[in-house]
């Protein structure tokens, strides 16, 4: 059970980092600046792509996707979803954040 919880935590870290990095390819370093404004996680090192969660993981992912969508439009939401398709395909459906379904 503990190993499964760790895998889920690692998956959520990967999801957040991948979303931010994919946005960074499109909008540049502002992607990290905007990510830092989302509550529920902390950016430890944007150069290395290190983060830590301080809140509920699914909600935090939803908030990050929503922030990018509010700022940059619906296409930004699609970029988020497409960038993590392989990761969410391995997750139980009930653990996948609503914004990525």
Residue 55 is encoded by which pair of tokens?
């809140």
Supply the pTM of this predicted model: 0.90
Q: Which of 22, 12, 19, 6 is nearest to 95 (CA)?
A: 12
β-bridge partners, 41: 53
Residue 29 is encoded by which pair of tokens?
């370093």
**27-78 per-position pLDDT tens digit:** 999 999 999 999 999 999 998 989 999 999 999 999 999 999 999 999 999 9
Contact, 90 vs 11, CB < 8 A? yes
Tell me the C-alpha distance between 6 and 27, whole Å: 31
Residue 68 is encoded by which pair of tokens?
């990018």
- Domain limits, the chain: 2-100
């Amino acid at each position: 059970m503990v190993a499964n919880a760790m895998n889920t935590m690692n998956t959520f870290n990967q999801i957040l980092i991948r979303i931010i990095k994919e946005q960074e390819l499109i909008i540049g370093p502002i992607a990290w600046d905007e990510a830092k404004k989302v509550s529920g996680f902390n950016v430890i090192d944007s150069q290395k792509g290190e983060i830590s969660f301080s809140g509920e993981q699914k909600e935090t992912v939803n908030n990050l996707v929503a922030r990018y969508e509010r700022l940059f439009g619906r296409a930004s939401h699609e970029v988020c979803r497409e960038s993590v398709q392989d990761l969410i395909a391995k997750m139980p459906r009930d653990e996948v954040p609503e914004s990525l379904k």
